[in-house]
Every structure is written in structure tokens, then in C-alpha cells.
Amino acid sequence: MPLPTLPTKLGTLLSEKDDSVIVADPPVPLAEPSSPPARPKAAPTKASTEPRAKKTAPVKTASARPARAPASVPVPAAAPAPAPAPASVAKAAPSKTVASPAHQPKPTPGSARKRTRLAPALRKLFVLDTNVLLHDSNSLFKFEEHDIFLPMMVLEELDHQKKGLSEVARNARQVSRSLEGLVGDHGLDKPIHLDGIGNAEALGDVTFQTSALDTSLPIQLPLGKADNAILAVVNALTQSLPKREVVLVSKDINMRLKAKALGLLAEDYRHDHVLDDSDLLYDGVMPLPDNFWTKHGKNMESWQQGGTTFYRISGPLCSQFMVNQFVFTEGDDPLIAQVRETAGNTAVLATLRDYSHGKNNVWGITARNREQNFALNLLMNPDFDFVSLLGHAGTGKTLLALASALTQTLETKRYNEIIITRATVPVGDDIGFLPGTEEEKMQPWMGALEDNLEVLHLGTGKSSGNLNNAQGTEAAPRNSTMELVRSKIKVKSLSFMRGRTFMNKFLIIDEAQNLTPKQMKTLVTRAGPGTKIVCLGNIAQIDTPYLTEGSSGLTYVVDRFKGWPHAGHITLQRGERSRLADYASDAL
């Protein structure tokens, strides 16, 4: 059965100019002074300014104050006929034309500044799918100067999703609260400004569907499905507003494909995407050219402090360095160092501790490649509060993090406890509810922890030949029992992290690629004084729906923390688990 006829009110409502829209006043031709004013003169008096005001335009706002530039007044491309100008224009410096917005002077502090909005015909109209709001509760305010349209079906689906304690339910409730705050005492028959509750960056309007829309899709689709109802709304808006660009925004790939098949514009919600290409993700390592010392070693300074050698170098490549980035050269003058400071074309490099040597082993573990050596330098340095390790399966992420945590907890007593958590996202079908306490429920998810504890307890990290010496002295790198080790390791669930504060803890977040940016922020902000947070993951193995390599929480923190003096990142390249695992990682 066809839907009721579309009233003309909605079409005119979205196309007509809003009364509250701030548009530029038409430019007023101002008279040019006969001669340039002398510089060292007192401010003009009222008698001297009034005739000039009469010359320029019939405005009754002549002021006794000195002339002042207006605060950012946008000018349309085609100048209309002269009209009475406001006081801000009348006070402008004499000129024949008004400058374009790109070349206008900046407003002085304390001066009244008008917010500029685009005319309704110049704004895009984005129709939001429900999954966008459930994915990011602040997505309403991420479309800058453009408008948003919310179909009634979206509100209906939000109502179905608001119950529960999941992240999706929390986002649904937050969106409902934001919409209620925006509406307030306003009626829904007119567009509502999105900056009404303090979001100054959102200069568009939000419009609610208040009536049925009459539309006939080019392809007959079942009307009882929510996606098809939203597509019908987008099609109706596209037909009723031919002069405006109506775009559907959805996280659902099939929804976007159906929209494009119907001839409608559709886009993904990309505000949460840190990178469009995961190959551009910061890896923490920068190889140096062979002629590095030739161009950067002329005015080099070096000194030693605390067993570390520092080099102050200058050259064109220093401007590309990032703080805590690792650099290396190979050849006649090899160098392995870490960037500690950068200032223009000058940088300070610091030498590293060689954890590939047996005397520097960490709980019996030594670095097997260059990237593992970089990782252990980050993990064992107390100056780095946040460390992120990326790498495919078998690169040693969990083993290195756990070995450094045990060394700094049981030996040096730098931390008093190890806390391990991870996202409980199954690879296959969910096995259902698990019995027991919080720690017992988390045990099936911590198989990687048990495997690495076994390796560390047997001491297989010291040499490749001591795997069968579980009873000998070589197999026990430390005189501690498994019970003592387990007493210092606590397994926690993500569900109970909100509100916690960890003091002097070594927090390991495993499988961090399955966390959203909001969940990652919740975890990282739990850190109290003396706490170190280590994030481990592989962005090529994301199991959470609606998360991609570009929108993962792990990608988010790697990109946001790069360059911070107390954070470090390294991407492990070589697999060290076994030749079988290494080959399978590349071939499969």
C-alpha cells in the first residue's frame, strides 16, 4: 500500500532560508578619503567623523571612536545592490570594496564576533543511519557546517537498542539525551541548530521527520524492513529537494550498496578513521641513508650521562625525526639509536642497551632481532608510561611484555602488580556463559598468558638447547615458583574497568586491535602515578564488527601518542615462534 502523500511543508521547510541563519550583509561602497591621514595624529573627534559617515551610506551609526576593522564578515560571490549597513560595517576602514573572507583581518580579543553559517542551499543534507549513532554517540556534531536529517525509523531503532549495559546501549542512551537537549522547548516543525548545547564546531541544523513521505523506489523492496524505510526517506528527500545534495551516511556496506543501486548518494562514516591506508601507520623505526654521517656529522657534539651516550647532530633529515623514534644505519659506521629531542634541523640521539646479549637478558629472554631489541628498550625504561607493540602472529609481543613485567615486578620492585586484560571477542561461535568468578571467567581467554608463562618458567628463552632441561639449573632462570609468579598477575575484565585507578601497576592490554577508540580511552585513563600501560595487537586480525584497520582503537592510540616524550611504539616485523608459523603467516 503506498504511503500517504508528502505535504509540501517539509520540502519548503528544508529549502527555505532559515530566519536564524546568519548570512553576510551586502557590501557597502565606502567613500575613499581625498588624502591619506597623517600617522601621528590624535583620534578623530565626533565633528570630523560625522561628515564621512554621511558620505559613505545613509547610516545613522557614525561613531566618535577611531575606525576599526570588522570581525570576520563573509561576502557572497555576487555582490547585491547596496543596502543599509550595520554598525560593524560603518566602522570599517575606508575602502572601495570589502575584502574577501580569506583576507579579512582577524578579530581583536574581546570584540563581538558573529558565527557564520552557510546558506541552506550551500549545505549538504546528511541522512544518518542508526548504526552511525550507535557507533559514535557524538556523530551528530561531526558534520561541521552541514545539516542532518533523522528519519523516524532511526528514532524507533534507537529506542530498541537503549536497554542493556553494552557499549551500543550506552551510545543509544547518550544520543537520546543529546537529542532531548537540542530540542528543549523548540518545536520540531523547524530545523534546530546543532550548537545549541555547546558544540560550537557544529554549525548546521538537525531536522526530524514529522510526517510520512510519499515515495516510489525504482526497485520494489519490502517495506517492512528498517533499511528500506530509510532508503525511501532518502529517495523522497532527493526528489523533493533537487537543489540540495542529499547523502546517506551508514556503516553498513550492504546499505550503501543498495543506495547506490537506487541512484542515491551514500557514504561511510569516516570521522573515526585515523588512516585511510594502514601502510601509512607510524611504525616507530626510520632507516638512515648510507651518507648520513657525511651530511649530519660535521658539527656533532657527544657526551655521556648515566651509561648512555648522547649525540647532538644537525642536518636536513633531523626535521623528519619524531621524539622516541628509533633510527639505524648499516655499513661501515653502524648506528642504532633513539631520538630524544628534536628542534628544527637539530636532534639529540641516544644509544640503546643491547638486549640481544646474554648478560642483559630479561627474565631469561634475549632479543632475537633488531625490532625486539627496540621493544625491550621501551619496555624496560621507566620514562615511557605508554608503549604499543604491533606485529603479526609469532613476533613475540606477549612474551616480551610479560618478561619485562615480571622482571620489573619481582626483581626491581618497580611495580607491585601485573594486570592483564583483553577484549573478549570470539573468533568463531560464542561458547556461552562461563562459570566462576571474574578471574575464572577470564581464564579461557588467557591461553596466551599461560603459554608464555610456561616458556618463561621453563627458561626456554635463554638458549635453544635447554627446552628439555626442565629439571636442571639452566631451566630455571629465576628462583621463583609458578605460585609466586601467579600471585603477582591479576586477570581483569574490561567490563569492570570504568572508575578504576591503577597505582604502580604494569597493565598489559592484549588483543588491543579489537577495542574501539572509546574503549581504549577508558583503559588508558585508568593509569595512576607509577603505572605503565602496554598495548599489544595485530591490526590484521580484527574480530569486532564495524571495526577496520583505520578505525581500530589500537591504530587510534598509535597515531595520537606518536611524538609524546613519554610514549613509544614499535612494529615487530620478523616472526620468531617457529618456521611453520612464520611461513603460514606469509603464505595463508
Q: Do 447 and 520 have their domain in common?
A: yes
Q: Do 231 and 375 have their domain in common?
A: no
The answer to whether 214 and 8 are in contact (CB under 8 A) is: no
3-state secondary structure at position 278: helix
Higher-confidence position of 498 and 462: 498
The answer to whether 426 and 447 are in contact (CB under 8 A) is: no
Q: Which of 267, 300, 331 is the last residue of a domain?
A: 267
DSSP string of 335-375? EEEEEEEEETTEEEEEE---TTSGGG-BTTB---SHHHHHH
Residue 543 CB coordination number (10 Å):
13
pLDDT digits (tens, 9 = 90+) for 9-48: 444 444 444 444 343 444 444 444 444 444 444 444 443 3
pLDDT more than 70, % of the chain: 71
Give the neighbor-by-neighbor strand order of the sheet with 301-305: 285-287, 326-329, 335-343, 346-351, 308-314, 301-305
The pLDDT score that the predictor gives to residue 271 is 78
Residue 491's DSSP bridge partners are 420
The pLDDT score that the predictor gives to residue 405 is 93
The pLDDT score that the predictor gives to residue 338 is 94
CA–CA distance from 38 to each of 35, 50, 52, 102 (Å)?
Answer: 9, 19, 16, 29
C-alpha cell at 345: 634541523
Tell whether 19 is covered by a domain: no
pLDDT at residue 177 greater than cutoff 80: yes
Q: Which of 319, 351, 383 is the last residue of a domain?
A: 351
Tell whether 424 is covered by a domain: yes
Spell out the residues 6+ positions from residue 37 whose beta carbon is closer than 8 angstroms to its own. Answer: none
Q: Do 429 and 312 have their domain in common?
A: no
The pLDDT score that the predictor gives to residue 439 is 66
In degrees to the nearest 10, what's the CA dihedral of 471, 475, 479, 484? -80
Helix (H) or strand (E) holding 308: strand 308-314
- CA–CA dist 47, 42 (Å, integer): 14
Helix (H) or strand (E) holding 317: none
Q: Do 313 and 440 have their domain in common?
A: no
pLDDT digits (tens, 9 = 90+) for 494-535: 777 778 889 999 999 988 998 888 888 989 999 999 999 999
Q: Which backbone phi and psi does 348 adopt, to 5 degrees?
A: -115, 120
- CA–CA dist 139, 133 (Å, integer): 6
CA–CA distance from 431 to each of 443, 494, 558 (Å)?
Answer: 14, 18, 32
pLDDT digits (tens, 9 = 90+) for 524-582: 999 999 999 999 999 888 887 778 888 888 999 999 999 899 999 999 988 887 888 77
Secondary structure string (H, E, C) spanning 454-493: HHHHHCCCCCCCCCCCCCCCCCCCCCCCHHHHHHCEEECC
Q: Which backbone phi and psi does 173 adopt, to 5 degrees?
A: -65, -35
pLDDT digits (tens, 9 = 90+) for 62-113: 333 444 433 343 433 443 444 444 433 333 333 333 333 334 444 444 333 4
- What CATH number did the domain enclosing 573 receive? 3.40.50.300
- CA–CA dist 47, 62 (Å, integer): 10
Q: Do 228 and 311 have their domain in common?
A: no
Spell out the residues 6+ positions from residue 546 whose beta carbon is closer than 8 angstroms to its own. Answer: 131, 135, 251
- CA–CA dist 203, 215 (Å, integer): 30
C-alpha cell at 239: 526528489
- What CATH number did the domain enclosing 179 receive? 3.40.50.1010
The answer to whether 136 and 269 are in contact (CB under 8 A) is: yes
Q: Do 336 and 399 have their domain in common?
A: no
Burial class, 363, CB count within 10 angstroms (exposed 0-12 / middle 13-18 / buried 19+): buried
pLDDT digits (tens, 9 = 90+) for 260-288: 999 999 998 887 776 666 667 889 999 99
Tell whether 476 is covered by a domain: yes
The pLDDT score that the predictor gives to residue 438 is 63
pLDDT at residue 459 greater than cutoff 50: yes
The DSSP secondary-structure symbol of 310 reads E
Spell out the residues 6+ positions from residue 281 whose beta carbon is closer than 8 angstroms to its own. Answer: 275, 390, 539, 555, 558, 559, 571
Q: Which of 321, 351, 381 is the last residue of a domain?
A: 351
The answer to whether 148 and 43 are in contact (CB under 8 A) is: no
pTM: 0.65
Tell whether 44 is covered by a domain: no
Tell whether 571 is covered by a domain: yes
The pLDDT score that the predictor gives to residue 123 is 87
Q: Output the average pLDDT for the chain.
A: 76
Q: Do 517 and 552 have their domain in common?
A: yes
Tell whether 518 is covered by a domain: yes
Tell whether 70 is covered by a domain: no
Q: Do 297 and 416 have their domain in common?
A: no
pLDDT digits (tens, 9 = 90+) for 223-265: 778 888 899 999 999 988 888 999 999 988 899 999 999 999 9
Q: Which of 127-131, 405-409, 421-425 is the least confident region? A: 421-425
Residue 243 CB coordination number (10 Å):
7
Averaged pLDDT, 338-358? 92
Q: Do 456 and 339 have their domain in common?
A: no
Residue 213 CB coordination number (10 Å):
23
The answer to whether 219 and 261 are in contact (CB under 8 A) is: yes
Q: Do 150 and 240 have their domain in common?
A: yes
Domain hosting residue 235, numbered range? 119-267
Q: Do 166 and 139 have their domain in common?
A: yes
Residue 128's DSSP bridge partners are 249
The answer to whether 148 and 205 are in contact (CB under 8 A) is: yes
3-state secondary structure at position 192: strand
C-alpha cell at 383: 620514562
Domain count for the chain: 3
- CA–CA dist 317, 328 (Å, integer): 13
C-alpha cell at 377: 628498550
**b/e per residue, 185-194, with b = 16+ CB within 10 A?**
eeeeeebbbb
Q: Do 427 and 543 have their domain in common?
A: yes
The pLDDT score that the predictor gives to residue 102 is 39
Tell whether 43 is covered by a domain: no
Amino acid letter, 428: G
- Is the dihedral angle over the CA atoms 129, 131, 135, 137 positive or is it negative? positive
- What CATH number did the domain enclosing 325 receive? 2.40.30
CA–CA distance from 67 to each of 35, 124, 174 (Å)?
Answer: 16, 38, 48
Q: Which backbone phi and psi does 434 adopt, to 5 degrees?
A: -110, 140
- CA–CA dist 125, 199 (Å, integer): 19
